Amino acid sequence: MQLAAFVLYFVVVLGIGMFFFLKSKSGNDKDYFLGGRSMGPWVTALSAQASDMSGWLLMGFPGSILAMGMGQVWIGIGLALGTAANWIFVARRLRKFSQCANDSITIPQYLSNRFMAKSRALQIICAVIFLVFFTIYVASSFVAGQKVFIQVVPQLAETPEIALLIFAVIIILYTFLGGFKAVCWTDFFQGLMMLAALLAVPLVLVFLRDIDYTVFETVAGGTNPLNPFAASWQEIVSGLAWGLGYFGMPHIIVRFMSTKNVKVLKKSATIGIIWVVLTLGAAVAMALLGRGFAPTQALVENGSQELVFITLVQDIFNGPWAFVAGLLLSAIVAAAMSTADSQLLVASSSFTSDIYKPVFRKNASEKETLWVGRIVVLIIAVVAYFIASSKSEGASSIMSLVDNAWGGFGAAFGPVILLSLFWKRTTYKGAIAGVVVGAVVDVAWMLLLSETGIYELLPGFIAGGLSCIIVSLIDKKPSAEVAALFEKASKITDED
């Protein structure tokens, strides 16, 4: 019955992809990569948040709380605050600025057009960073999908590469076929599934199962696991730093650029913030309750804490409820797919719009651009597949893969996006410096200073922001045309 629910879910997802493929055969690159700027408030909100959270929300995050305690909850607090700030301060302003900046359809395009740059340097740098970090991020989604497949179909445990391949092929198919609209609509339904699954499990545990609440009294070291302030200052600072990543997540902020108008984003903001608070809160509750539920206590001992949601669902919803279990487990697949598809599409759109067409084929037709984008989707997915299937410890951990990719994007793009929207004195050279320094410091900190316990996103974000500001001040002031663009975008009202 679990398998039947899985099959039903995948039929629906592939059906959405095929529908938009047939519907948009005559569409252009803006339709494929940005949905023709036609997304409504619910689809915008839920697709943005579903593409944000990935399988990490149902596996990596509760697993880390189960294994390491309430210190990890600060990541959820940071993400909730970052989500709210992103919707309130960035969403509407980016929608206005991207449209004024020559109707940009990618983040690198926006940054170049915002400064009316003739050079393609920033676009190329951004596109390369996209390809590297998105490939790592997609690999994390593949790992999450593989683990669920093996739990639902135990026979695949002997050939885990087959489970990984099936998951990858399904994502590739509907992303390849349907483009942005297919991704947004599948993410909309997947966002609803994720919310329902996360709320259902802790509620059922509280009301229908016996929980050993004595395990909440102490954990190793005698600290109270229900007190997040028992965490170290590094855990608190690093957890809050996760929230800074939102300002630089291309697959999230591109949703802001895709809406029908600015007014839509007001409703989307409310929906998106409520969704994030509910899902993160439910994930924390599930992890805490999992401490007192016998089947999950052994997970930490053998290093399988990421399976806490799967274990709880299969134990609670067994026998005649197996079909429900299959639907709930599909939520993990939904989470992983909703992130991977968005990242594949954004990386593909960036390559075609920011490298292929302006550098290699300036006269490429829209049809050619679309098919090159689809081929890039395949290439990134194949590389991500090999990363996910490798035997290294880092590649098998959803949490560590997401750590690396989230930090890289947040440090490289977060400060530059904010400064481009709110500081008229920002220059093109300053933006290049901010992106490059942010990315380099993030990677260097991760490789050389990770033992400090400080998440690399924070020093990378600070270094990127300072570099952008310093270089912009040293550089000559933006031209009158660039200043006029800033003023024009700033004056657009939500009704325009």
pLDDT digits (tens, 9 = 90+) for 81-104: 999 999 999 999 999 999 899 888
In terms of average pLDDT, the best of 159-163, 217-221, 365-369, 448-452 is 448-452
pLDDT of residue 45: 85
In terms of average pLDDT, the best of 95-99, 210-214, 222-226, 370-374 is 95-99
More confident site: 280 or 202: 280
Instruction: Give the DSSP H/E element, type plus range, for residue 299.
Output: helix 294-301
Residue 219 has pLDDT above 50, yes or no: no
Query: Which CATH number characterizes residue 171's domain?
Result: 1.20.1730.10
Q: Which range has the worst mean pLDDT, 229-233, 264-268, 371-375, 413-417?
A: 229-233
Mean pLDDT of all residues in 328-332? 79
305 lies in some domain: yes
Q: Which of 241, 226, 275, 247 is nearest to 42 (CA)?
A: 275
CA separation for the pair 209, 412 (Å, rounded): 46
Instruction: Check: CB of residue 47 under 8 Å from CB of residue 207.
Output: no
CA separation for the pair 256, 249 (Å, rounded): 11
195 lies in some domain: yes
Residue 483 has pLDDT above 90, yes or no: yes
pLDDT of residue 287: 84
Residue 223 has pLDDT above 50, yes or no: no
Mean pLDDT of all residues in 71-75? 88
Rounded-to-10 torsion of CA 250, 358, 384, 151: 50
Average pLDDT, the chain: 82
CA separation for the pair 204, 196 (Å, rounded): 12
Mean pLDDT of all residues in 111-119? 92
454 lies in some domain: no
Mean pLDDT of all residues in 328-337? 76
Token couple for 38:
């036609």
Instruction: Give the DSSP H/E element, type plus range, for residue 338.
Output: helix 322-351
Q: How confident is the model at residue 222 (pLDDT cuts 50, 70, 90)?
A: very low
More confident site: 414 or 39: 414
347 lies in some domain: yes
Q: How confident is the model at residue 113 (pLDDT cuts 50, 70, 90)?
A: very high
Count of CB atoms within 10 A of residue 157's CB?
11
pLDDT of residue 221: 40
Mean pLDDT of all residues in 360-376? 80
User: b/e map of 459-476 (b: 16 or more CB within 10 Å)?
Assistant: bbbbbbbebbbebbeeee
Q: Scanning the structure block, which residue is given the tokens 């490789």?
A: 447
457 lies in some domain: no
pLDDT of residue 100: 92
SS3 264: helix
Within its chain, how far is the Cα of 108 from the centroid? Answer: 18
Residue-wise pLDDT tens digits, 405-456: 899 999 999 999 999 999 999 999 999 999 999 999 999 999 999 889 899 9
Q: Please, how many CA atoms are within 13 Å of residue 441, restricted to the half-sphere of its CB?
A: 24
More confident site: 218 or 469: 469
Residue % of the chain over a pLDDT of 70: 84
Task: Tell me which residue range forms the domain holding 294.
Answer: 2-389
pLDDT of residue 23: 65
**DSSP string for residues in 437-457:** HHHHHHHHHHHHSGGG---TH
User: Looking at the 3D structure of the chain, how many domains does it have?
Assistant: 1
Residue-wise pLDDT tens digits, 162-203: 888 888 887 777 666 655 666 677 777 778 888 888 898 888
How buried is 59 (Cβ within 10 angstroms: 0-12 exposed, 13-18 middle, 19+ buried)?
buried
Q: How confident is the model at residue 478 (pLDDT cuts 50, 70, 90)?
A: very high
Instruction: Check: CB of residue 16 under 8 Å from CB of residue 178.
Output: yes
Residue 141 has pLDDT above 50, yes or no: yes
Q: How confident is the model at residue 7 (pLDDT cuts 50, 70, 90)?
A: confident
468 lies in some domain: no
Residue 313 has pLDDT above 90, yes or no: no
76 lies in some domain: yes
154 lies in some domain: yes
Prediction pTM value = 0.86
Residue 111 has pLDDT above 80, yes or no: yes
pLDDT of residue 415: 97
Cα end-to-end distance, the chain, whole Å: 51
More confident site: 219 or 64: 64
